[in-house]
Structure 1
Amino acid sequence: MDLETVRTFVAVADAGQFQEAAAELGITQQAVSKRVAALERTLGVRLFTRTPRGSGLSIDGQAFLPHARELLRVAERAATSVRAGRRPLRVDVIASRGAATGLMRAFHRAHPEIDLDVVMLLDIETAVAAVRSGTIDASFRAVAAPGRPLPEDIAAVRVLDEPLQLLTGPGHALASARSVTVDGLAGHRIWMPGIVPGSEWGAYYDDLVAAFGLTIEATGPNFGSDALLDTIADTPALATFMGGRTRLVWPAGHGLRLIPVTDPTPVYPHALLWHRDNPHPALATLRAHLTAATAGQDTAGTWTPDWVIPR
């Protein structure tokens, strides 16, 4: 059913005359007549009867009028739900405890008037497809891994370099160190069961291993952060990398240590992805907030793979 014919029918019913309805709608009286006739053919009934004063509703027209008004209200609500600025800004943060979540929490505190939907998508292909389709408005990723260029309609800006730290249990050989050089980690077993082959963070750690001769093990099932922390606390031979902005809490009895890594400091490059034609006004506000919040980052003494987008 054509909503314009329904809107024209309601205008005639309210005005009582085709000519007044035409003036209200900004179209000709002939166009009004054609729209009403088209709606009557669709419904198979007469909606108006001629009267000395103009046009009156037929019995069928009286029955249809309240439903016609509801159709127009539903259509307006549907349009409003997706109209730029009227729906929440949907952003993918990958995981609930990572740096991207912290960035979005800070954005929410700075702009509480902006409605947010936060989602978590694991792989970059799913995230890029969601950005391109409009399912989400933006995604935090490390881009662009070798052989995986972004589509031309996807824009990206590097917003945060997150330093990696070494997490050890109390019995680890480096547990008492105030800092450790990245070369000094050679020969130590670094256990990271959450690395997904083919992911952008998988490519990052592959390059880190190649650059500094490290030993990173991704063996065994990934039971989540709690199981990882338990194992690191109880196994002196193992350590793991932890992002400096990752928010984790562990029991005091674990005795875990976070040790800065230096000379150079490996940093994980978080970037924001969005579709170049996305009209949501809050997206520009988010980009401006991230630019201001992470301005002045010093990249001296840090390391990233050579494939990441420049700052």
Structure 2
Amino acid sequence: MDPHLLRTFVAVARLGSFSGAARDLGYTQSAVSQHIAALEGDLRTELLTRRPVRPTAAGARLLEHAGPLLLRLDAARADVARLAVAPPERITLAASPLALGPRTLTALPATGVTLRVMPRAEIPAAVATGAVDLGLVDGLAAPSDPLRLPDVAPLTVTGVGEDELAVLLPAGHPLAGRSALRLADLGDARWLDAPEAGIPLPAVRAALGMPGCRPSLRYDGTDLQTLYALSAAGHGLTLLPHRAAASVPPPAVAVPLSTPRLVHRTELLTPHTPTPPATALAHRLTTGA
């Protein structure tokens, strides 16, 4: 299967338009039509309806395979390029917002690094394809257990740190005076939907082991001070790593989570063939030296 034809198919399916895919890819519309016809001829099945432009059942199934296949090809290209191209003068480190703890920030060198804050779900692919040199991701896990990350390419995963968890809530909340909280007692509460600034609600629900955690206001930012203010104003609860909750200003409070026994884990993602500067930075981040 020709990857050029596959990329054209993905673009047409994503945009729902042959002309839109042509503009996006820099091809003529005739070339796009020829690519789709060649791919359908290779697979001996119709992949797209024409009016409207939508994937057929076979096309939808191919789309499920296309993303991982193309990502693997991009990762292979980036892996080879690291061996053939001179290392960049600056190293780009991608990190999800909650992965940036004090220990990590202290380990960063004074010069030569660009820190890029990204959504945690995008970081593995960014490292695999060479868009960034290293990545820091975070999530919930049982103590000493690795995070469940997508299999995008051969990446080296190293644990950087683990932290206890705490629940952020308004000072006037009935449970604010507790010394510790059980997640099972909070399933019926209203929660802030802050997927990047706090622990994402799907992860909280998975830890709860049942439906619950009704979302209230959604916050798409990454600023913790805004998250604290939203919680203090009564817009809902949030689960945070203890180090992030430890500096909560009043009138919000943070109460440690006692059960289930989970931690906030941070991991470093390194490509299969890192450049020497990336290797040096990875050593600093994992050892603090």
* TM-score normalized with structure 2 length: 0.56
Choose which of 215, 220, 230 in structure 1 pairs with 2:217: 220
Q: Aligned pair 1:289/2:284, yes or no? A: yes
Q: Which residue of 2 aligns with 1:94?
A: 96
- Give the C-alpha shift of residue 246 in structure 1: 2.4
SS in 2 for 1:127: helix
Contact 2:270 2:282 in 1 (8 A): no
CA distance in 2, matches of 1:130, 1:186: 35
Contact 2:193 2:201 in 1 (8 A): no
Change (3 A) 1:202 1:139: farther
1:38-53 alignment runs, 5 A limit: none
1:160-175 alignment runs, 5 A limit: 160-175=161-176
Q: Which residue of 1 aligns with 2:130?
A: 134
- Give the C-alpha shift of residue 145 in structure 1: 7.0
CA distance in 2, matches of 1:240, 1:203: 12
- Give the C-alpha shift of residue 256 in structure 1: 1.6
State the one-letter code of the partner of 2:160: V
Q: Which residue of 1 aligns with 2:81?
A: none
Q: Which residue of 2 aligns with 1:159?
A: 160
Q: Aligned pair 1:117/2:144, yes or no? A: no
Change (3 A) 1:263 1:178: same
Q: Which residue of 1 aligns with 2:203?
A: 204
- Give the C-alpha shift of residue 234 in structure 1: 3.0
Change (3 A) 1:238 1:222: closer
Q: Which runs of 5+ in 1 are unaligned?
A: 1-81, 295-311
Contact 2:158 2:268 in 1 (8 A): yes
SS in 2 for 1:160: strand
SS in 2 for 1:177: coil
SS in 1 for 2:100: helix
Which of structures 1 and 2 has the bigger CA Rg? 1
Change (3 A) 1:102 1:282: farther
- Give the C-alpha shift of residue 90 in structure 1: 0.9
CA distance in 2, matches of 1:234, 1:202: 19
Q: Which residue of 1 aligns with 2:272?
A: 276
Contact 2:107 2:288 in 1 (8 A): no
**How many pairs were matched up?**
195
| Superimposed CA distance per residue, residues 108-139 of structure 1 (whole angstroms, 9 cap, x where no aligned partner) | 2xx43x51100022152x32332123221111
Contact 1:195 1:218 in 2 (8 A): no
Change (3 A) 1:156 1:208: same
Contact 2:156 2:271 in 1 (8 A): yes
Contact 1:99 1:246 in 2 (8 A): no
Q: Which residue of 1 aligns with 2:62?
A: none
Contact 1:194 1:218 in 2 (8 A): no
- Give the C-alpha shift of residue 92 in structure 1: 0.6
Q: Which residue of 1 aligns with 2:189?
A: 189
Q: Which residue of 1 aligns with 2:252?
A: 256
Q: Which runs of 5+ in 2 are unaligned?
A: 1-84, 140-145
CA distance in 2, matches of 1:122, 1:258: 24
State the one-letter code of the partner of 1:92: A
CA distance in 2, matches of 1:187, 1:130: 34
State the one-letter code of the partner of 1:88: R
SS in 1 for 2:132: coil
State the one-letter code of the partner of 1:286: L
Percent identity, aligned pairs only, is: 16
CA distance in 1, matches of 2:256, 2:134: 31
Structure 1 segments of 4 or more deviating over 4 A?
142-146, 200-203, 247-250
Q: Which residue of 2 aligns with 1:230?
A: 229
Contact 2:193 2:200 in 1 (8 A): no
- Give the C-alpha shift of residue 93 in structure 1: 1.3
Change (3 A) 1:289 1:265: farther
* TM-score normalized with structure 1 length: 0.52
SS in 1 for 2:107: helix
